[in-house]
Amino acid sequence: MSDSRAAVRYAKAILDLAIDKKADADLENDMRLVVSTIQENGELKDVLGSPVISGEVKKSILSGVFKDIHELGHGLIELLIDKKRISLLSEVAAQYVRLHEEFKGERVAYVTTAVPLNKSLQDRLLQQVEKITGDKVTLENQVDENVLGGFVLRVGDLQYNASIANKLEKLKREFTNSI
């Protein structure tokens, strides 16, 4: 089983439990905190991925860092430590946030462009994505100069690549295959 599939399974299980206990919104905020903390702290990420550091040490570190999170969050951390899957914590937390947004009928659309989108383009793109998905969507614009032009849109598992870099790569492949 791949790590991302395992992360989704853990996230679904904790989401079901959180919904039953009516703590899903609180846990979403905690999971956002977990994701951002681990992403911003390379040392913490290294500790979680290290096979040399014992589970008890990892547990005490995480208990100190995330002392104010919901009891379900602490339970998730303990479970991942017990199953020797604590390196998945950030991914499980991110999947929890994604699944909870879908549960609430909200989605985040990530659009990558070479330059920041202006308000008019954001609004037009947002309307189209909401029409396609049928959900309330928020838009996050990421800037990557490697896109060259156009955009890459990702909503959940769907991705639409209308970038100039992608079109050039396709042309290159076609040219190479025709020789």
* Rounded Cα–Cα distance for residues 14 and 100 (Å): 10
63, 74 Cβ separation under 8 angstroms? yes
Contacts of 90 (CB under 8 A, 6+ apart): 34, 35, 38, 39, 45, 48
| Same-domain pairing of 92 and 152 | no
**What pLDDT was estimated at residue 3?**
64
Report the distance separating Cα 29 and Cα 33, nearest Å: 6
Same domain, 145 and 89: no
CA distance 97 to 32: 7
pLDDT digits (tens, 9 = 90+) for 47-98: 999 889 998 999 999 989 998 999 999 999 999 999 999 999 999 999 998 8
pLDDT for the residue numbered 108: 80
Are 7 and 32 in a shared domain? yes
Verify that 8 and 56 share a domain, yes or no: yes
**Could you tell me if 111 and 161 lie in one domain?**
yes
Q: Identify the domain containing residue 64 by its residue range.
A: 3-102
User: Which structure tokens are listed for 54?
Assistant: 């014992």
For residue 103, what pLDDT is reported?
87
Domain boundary among 76, 102, 128: 102
Q: What is the spatial distance between Cα 109 and Cα 154, in angstroms, rounded to a whole number? A: 6
Domain count, the chain: 2
Where is the domain boundary, 102, 130, 149? 102
Q: Answer with the one of 74, 102, 130 that is the final residue of a domain.
A: 102
The stretches in the chain having pLDDT less than 50 are 1
61 near 53, Cβ under 8 Å? no
Residues 25 and 96 grouped into a single domain: yes
- 110 and 85 both lie in a single domain: no
How high is the pLDDT of residue 160? 84
9 with 93, same domain: the answer is yes
